[in-house]
Amino acid sequence: MHRALDANNLREVLKYSALMLSELRTSKLSPQKYYDLYMRAFDQLRQLEIFLRDESRHGLPVVDLYELVQHAGNILPRMYLLCTVGSVYIKSKQAPSKDVLKDLVEMCRGVQHPIRGLFLRSYLTQVSRDKLPEIGSDYQGDANTVMDAVEFVLQNFTEINKLWVRIQHQGPGTVREKQEKERNELRDLVGKNLHVLGQIEGVHLEMYKETVLPRILEQVVNCKDDFAQYYLMECIIQVFPDEYHLQTLETLLAACTQLMPTVDTKIVLTQLMDRLSNYAVSSPDVLHEFLQVEAFAKLNNAIGKVIDTQIEMPIVGAMTLFVSLLTFALRVHPDRLDYVDQVLGACVVKLSSGPKLEDARAMKQVVALLSAPLEKYNDIVTALTLSNYPRVMDHLDDGTNKLMAMLIIQSIMKNNSCISTADKVEVLFELIKGLIKDLDGNAYRGEDFQEEQNSVARLINMLDNEEPEEMLKIICVVRKHLMTGGTRRLPFTIPPLIFSALRLVRQLESQGGDMTGEDLPATPRKIFQILNQTIEVLSSVPCPELALRLYLQCAEAASDCDLEPAAYEFFTQAFILYEEEIADSKAQVTAIHLIAGTLQRINVFGVENRDTLTPKATGGGYSARLLKKPDQCRAVYACSHLFWVDDLDGIKDGERALLCLRRALRIANAAQQMANATRGSSGSVTLFVEILNKYIYFYEKGSPHITPSDIQSLIELINTEMQSDNNGNTRTHSDPFFTSTLRYMRFQKQKGGLMGDKYELIKL
């Protein structure tokens, strides 16, 4: 052929070209190999085209040439040559390009073999690409309109697609998989047509709407091949501009519902929505177009239809669709909450029509569905107004439900959003009830549970409202929900509730005392009643230590509010707890210290009440009954503070304080002796030093009952104890403590002043 080309011998050229092209008639090659062959032939044909274009080299007008190549006996070489000459023909402008193109595309019908036809038509596409009579091209004229170009490409596309679809009908079913693969390799050839179509200049919207799209879709729908439908829809969506999609949404969607049931419509729709929403986001000007065409309503309808018609579609598919629709709605119409709600509503309908969700992937999609609005609005409050939101959540299984609830809480935390009305709180807790209640009998395991409950606790702290009344309502609501939580949860959830309530109390208090009128719903008194009940529950859990602490907290708060009865009540409860429930000695010690500390700070009690309460704590009471002597000792000297509150109006009962200290001293002595008896050596002097410090404290505070001599004697006592201690064995850590105490006293002495004077009396 090359030799003939060089020799400008037309007849030989054509003969050899045909010979070469006959190679393409083989059906033994796989598409891949065939493609290689095609490419090589393609290169050769380019040379041929160059040769043919130059009329001087072969001396035949192109019209004759066009006829001449049709003499070839075999159709495939004939058609390749015809296409080549045809392209020359168009270039020469001796005939209107539309006629030539039409002829070519018509004649190509002769090749019905799928692969060969596919390549032939793709060749046609390739050679005609730059010769379409589109707007702005040289080939456009009176007779050649864009319409013709479109017509040509469409027709070629139709045929090429038919061929492509037909591949699968070749050969037995056993090689189906292989065929699918082959078709996959070939699909670009088909897609190229659409690509060309998309690039034709001057296809305006009207034309697209009237002609192009319906024709393509008709083809897509009619080919009845899932693989092709899927790919082509994808192509359509990718190739044409967004604006067109928007305007023809209805048609496009209608086609979607007509696809084969096995087509993965959801991906198609998802892509479409993605594109549209990107488009919407890209410029704000187009938004009104969306409204104009009611994009959302149409999409919504279509999706509903798709789901309805494709009964076999797994639930996960439906969910994926909903997710994309929702995303679309969120992106395009962030202000239209009702859209979101609609989507969720549809989702509910779908979910409730089927059995309970079991598919993990579907579950995941639902979670995605539910998280989308959260992320978008960054504000749970918005989500709470969606009435269908909780209904969707109902369909999740417990694990996922919890997960979702966690997500919700995390979202709240992240955004610091504040939920400020009782209604919303109600809804919110309805949402996260997976965390709050036992939905089934599952055991609570490990960290997850703790983590979850901690989150709930944190959430409770986020609830806040300036308005006490509303806040009280919130608290009531929360409480109502929490109470259903069961014993394992209460220890986590009650404390934040209590503190939240206490915060409210303080707030009320700070607003002024006149708020205590009976007609107001939110009085501290009422709150304390609620609290009392709440904690009671906790103590039955059983979690007495926690309950005790909470009681004490409440008592303190009550005292701040000057509610003596309430405070007293709390204390009573605390004491009861202590007596009845707290058995562990260590816990007891802690409890005693807590009680003592609280009691000391509370100043609301009248003398009578105080007298009832304090002894309980001190000598005769709990302190003395502790198991270990040092604990006793420490508890007792701590109690001494109960009688000496270093406030202006605090009680200053130095005598009883001294009594306490003396008792402590006695106990310390006893402890020392016990240690001697049991271990043969005296114990540490730590206790003594500690008591000494207490002495010094009260002395400094000016208690009249603590005399310098007391202190002095105590110091001596310690010294002797220490000596006896030093005899035998190791020096204990109390040594430095004692030394520093002494140093403190010396320092005070040297400093002089009022305090110095006091210390002067003590001899060291």
Residues interacting with other proteins, by CB under 8 A?
25, 67, 70-71, 73-76, 78, 106-107, 109-114, 116-117, 162, 166, 169-170
Would you say 170 or 450 has its CB closer to other proteins?
170
Q: In angstroms, what is the minimal distance from the CB of 109 to other proteins? A: 5
Nearest 5°: the CA angle 489, 493, 494 is 110
Would you say 24 or 665 has its CB closer to other proteins?
24
644 phi and psi angles, rounded to 5 deg: -140, 95
Residue 605 Cα to chain centre, angstroms: 51
Q: Could you give the CA distance from residue 552 to residue 595 in angstroms, rounded to a whole number?
A: 7
Residue that is written with structure tokens 């709440």 in the block: 534
Q: In angstroms, what is the minimal distance from the CB of 208 to other proteins? A: 27
Q: Could you give the CA distance from residue 246 to residue 276 in angstroms, rounded to a whole number?
A: 7
Q: Could you give the CA distance from residue 232 to residue 217 in angstroms, rounded to a whole number?
A: 9
Would you say 79 or 531 has its CB closer to other proteins?
79
Residues 49 and 88: beta-carbon distance below 8 Å: yes
Q: In angstroms, what is the minimal distance from the CB of 25 to other proteins? A: 7
Residues 516 and 525: beta-carbon distance below 8 Å: yes
Would you say 110 or 704 has its CB closer to other proteins?
110
Q: What count of other Cβ atoms lies within 10 Å of the Cβ of residue 517?
A: 7
Q: In angstroms, what is the minimal distance from the CB of 382 to other proteins? A: 55
Amino acid type, 630? P
Residues 554 and 498: beta-carbon distance below 8 Å: yes
Q: In angstroms, what is the minimal distance from the CB of 103 to other proteins? A: 9
Would you say 120 or 363 has its CB closer to other proteins?
120
Residues 672 and 630: beta-carbon distance below 8 Å: no
DSSP 243-270: HHHHHTHHHHHHHHHHS-TTS-HHHHHH
Would you say 25 or 743 has its CB closer to other proteins?
25
Report the SS3 class of residue 653: coil
Q: How would you class 557 by CB atoms within 10 Å of its CB: exposed for 0-12, middle for 13-18, buried for 19 or more?
A: buried
Q: Could you give the CA distance from residue 77 to residue 595 in angstroms, rounded to a whole number?
A: 104
Name every residue whose Cβ is closer than 8 Å to that of residue 234 and which is 6 or more positions away in sequence.
Answer: 267, 268, 271
Report the SS3 class of residue 762: coil
Q: Which of 393, 471, 472 is nearest to 436 (CA)?
A: 393
Element of type H or E holding 694: helix 686-700
Q: In angstroms, what is the minimal distance from the CB of 172 to other proteins? A: 12
Would you say 52 or 223 has its CB closer to other proteins?
223
The pair of structure tokens assigned to 654 is: 């130095």
Would you say 14 or 329 has its CB closer to other proteins?
14
Q: In angstroms, what is the minimal distance from the CB of 111 to other proteins? A: 5
Would you say 38 or 528 has its CB closer to other proteins?
38
Q: Could you give the CA distance from residue 136 to residue 395 in angstroms, rounded to a whole number?
A: 58
Residue that is written with structure tokens 């004692």 in the block: 738
Would you say 79 or 689 has its CB closer to other proteins?
79
Q: In angstroms, what is the minimal distance from the CB of 112 to other proteins? A: 4
Q: In angstroms, what is the minimal distance from the CB of 390 to other proteins? A: 54
Q: Could you give the CA distance from residue 406 to residue 453 in angstroms, rounded to a whole number?
A: 10
Name every residue whose Cβ is closer than 8 Å to that of residue 670 and which is 6 or more positions away in sequence.
Answer: 629
Q: Which of 437, 476, 435, 434 is nearest to 453 (CA)?
A: 435
Would you say 117 or 133 has its CB closer to other proteins?
117
Q: In angstroms, what is the minimal distance from the CB of 427 to other proteins? A: 59
Q: In angstroms, what is the minimal distance from the CB of 75 to other proteins? A: 4
Nearest 5°: the CA angle 197, 200, 204 is 100
Residue that is written with structure tokens 């305006």 in the block: 204
Would you say 113 or 749 has its CB closer to other proteins?
113
Q: What does DSSP assign to residue 208? A: I
Q: In angstroms, what is the minimal distance from the CB of 174 to other proteins? A: 17
Residues 571 and 613: beta-carbon distance below 8 Å: yes
Would you say 101 or 638 has its CB closer to other proteins?
101
Taking the alpha carbons at both ends of the chain, their separation in whole angstroms is 126
Q: In angstroms, what is the minimal distance from the CB of 264 to other proteins? A: 25
Would you say 85 or 661 has its CB closer to other proteins?
85
Q: In angstroms, what is the minimal distance from the CB of 66 to other proteins? A: 11
Strand partners, 644: 652
Q: What count of other Cβ atoms lies within 10 Å of the Cβ of residue 468?
A: 20
Residues 644 and 655: beta-carbon distance below 8 Å: no
Would you say 110 or 702 has its CB closer to other proteins?
110
Q: In angstroms, what is the minimal distance from the CB of 134 to other proteins? A: 26
Mutual angle of helices 75-92 and 114-128, in 10-degree steps: 10
Would you say 170 or 184 has its CB closer to other proteins?
170
Q: Could you give the CA distance from residue 215 to residue 224 in angstroms, rounded to a whole number?
A: 15
CA distances from 69 to 65, 75, 360, 368, 502 (A): 6, 11, 63, 62, 98
| Torsion on CA atoms 499, 501, 503, 504, rounded to nearest 10 | 180
Q: In angstroms, what is the minimal distance from the CB of 24 to other proteins? A: 10
Q: In angstroms, what is the minimal distance from the CB of 293 to other proteins? A: 36
Would you say 71 or 763 has its CB closer to other proteins?
71
